[in-house]
Amino acid sequence: MKLKFDYNNMMDSAIGAHGIKPSEISAASSLHSAAYKEVVENSGRGWQEWTECPLIPQKEIDELNAFGAKIREKASSFVVLGIGGSALGPICVFNALLHLHHNELPEKMRKAPKIYVEDNVDPERMASLLDIIDLKTTYFNVITKSGETSETLSQFIILYNLLKKTVGEKKAKEHIFVTTTVGKGALYNVAEKEGFKIFGIPSGVGGRFSVLSNVGLVPFAVMGVDIQSMIAGARAMREACERTDINTNPALMTAFLQVKSMQAGKNISVMMPYADGLKTMADFYCQIWAESLGKAVDKKGKTVNCGQTPAKSLGVTDQHSQVQLYTEGPYDKVVTFIGVENYGATVNIPAAETSDVGNFLKGHTLNELITAERKSTEFALTKAGRSNYTIILPEVNAETVGELLMYFMYQTAFAGAYLGIDTFNQPGVEEGKKATFAMIGRAGYEAKLQELNSLSKNDAYIIK
């Protein structure tokens, strides 16, 4: 394991009365054992097939790389069509591992097509995409586990129709490959009929836990990401998260600390990376934490309405917009910092500058400055008695990103086990999906449409 986890500032020795006592950790040994057992002993079963993703055979990695290389040779642009877990995983990895201005680089410097991840159905967004891509040299990966996702299917229908008009029906089929559950869903059926290349998603891998399955690996291979190293990192973190001792298991320990914090009224979890490349890692975290832990009932059917609201913040940027609240507002937050020891570039602040401005900065580097800013914010929060802990990456690369993603998945699973909830369902999301189907007029949802139409609004509460 390359990552380090420093939770000193969660403890009472650092932040006083709002911290957790070591005795609280040791007194909960039976809870630790139960949470560990629920996650680790069910590894690879049911909705926990995601734990097996790092065990992908070498042959499959080689096949993915070969496929990706073929697409990369032909594509000027590569478009991922997906939403939720089918988009956030690819987005955060591309943001972390590709050049921060990848699409703006000259073609020779890019060594890969321009990348677009379309995770919304705003009509202006689709129109804007069509303004900048050349359909003749653009390839599309359509991703939906269920094969029934309205947003993704609508995008697919629009683009496949345009492709057929532009390059002809036969050629259009070569520009689309799909990632979905094999043998199930409308997308799979269409893919079989049309002859699209199909990549499967294991039945027990839910969307928000799917980034290290074909959902992520296929687009990563197309863009030339080192999936071999990413899988190696995920495998190392898997081993760390299966350690039986909570004091050496980063996901089990931090899950417990977060749950104890929730029970103490700290219902907001702020993810604050200090690297622009990790900015969208906070988006990935927000989905997996919110959808997994925000539940109305526990496994026994008791109403609990539990969960911790995730919030995203970027260091240093949001020190100038949010940290005032974190240090002096309500004691209702846990802040997770992500630090980087060695950035991918070093930028010097010239010492020979003749101007009198910023003399204290001269001769230093931006690397020193961003690290000092992170440590200073940790200090300010700790001095104010605010819960925070830090994840340190030695550098941002495929291996450490693989570790970080796997850590978030295990931490979430352990937190759900501590809370006694079903971590892997999403009934609140499903209700909204059904309502959408009804309003669009999908057959079989007539009763839901009647329910929607029965809702009335009071004009007195509408300001015009």
Angle at 143 between CA 276 and CA 223, to 5 degrees: 50
Catalytic residue, candidates 184, 362, 375, 433: 433
Q: Say which DSSP state 179 is in.
A: E
Residue 93 contacts residue 211 (beta carbons within 8 Å): yes
List all residues 6 or more positions away from 368 whose beta carbon is below 8 Å from its beta carbon: none
Catalytic residue, candidates 170, 320, 457, 464: 320
291 is a catalytic site residue: yes
List all residues 6 or more positions away from 129 whose beta carbon is below 8 Å from its beta carbon: 79, 116, 118
Count Cβ atoms below 10 Å from residue 117 Cβ, excluding itself. Answer: 22
Residue 284 contacts residue 211 (beta carbons within 8 Å): yes
Sign for the pseudo-dihedral over CA of 380, 386, 392, 395: negative
74 is a catalytic site residue: no
164 is a catalytic site residue: no
- Distance, in Å, from the CA atom of 409 to the CA atom of 284, rounded to the nearest integer, reads 10
Residue 231 contacts residue 11 (beta carbons within 8 Å): no
Catalytic residue, candidates 49, 118, 151, 291: 291
What residues are labeled active site? Answer: 291, 320, 433
